[in-house]
Amino acid sequence: MEDEARILARCGKSFHLAARFLDPEARAAAARLYAFCRQLDDLADDAPDPCKAAGQLEAVHTALARGETTHPLVALYHRAF
């Protein structure tokens, strides 16, 4: 997976600029959170089948609710906090 800071710089240009006002630790956490949200958005937007996308998003939601950390997006979420 692409580095979180690069995802923020590439996809969240205005947010990336605003993050400069944060201290380095908060900026890194914001980049991880943004990367998590971006990945979810890409899952939904890039899926050729809306039902498959819904299933993938539901799997992430279920893993978060159960506190599982084996799902890559859930692991990214937990690194953000």
- Condensed to tens digits (0 to 9), the pLDDT of residues 28-68 reads 888 888 888 888 888 888 888 989 889 989 999 999 999 88
Domain residue limits, the chain: 4-80
Contact 74, 64 (CB under 8 A): yes
- State the pLDDT at residue 34: 80
Q: What is the pLDDT of residue 13?
A: 64
d(CA 7, CA 18) in angstroms, rounded, equals 15
pLDDT, one tens digit per residue, over 12-38 is 667 766 777 888 888 888 888 888 888
Q: What pLDDT does residue 61 have?
A: 92
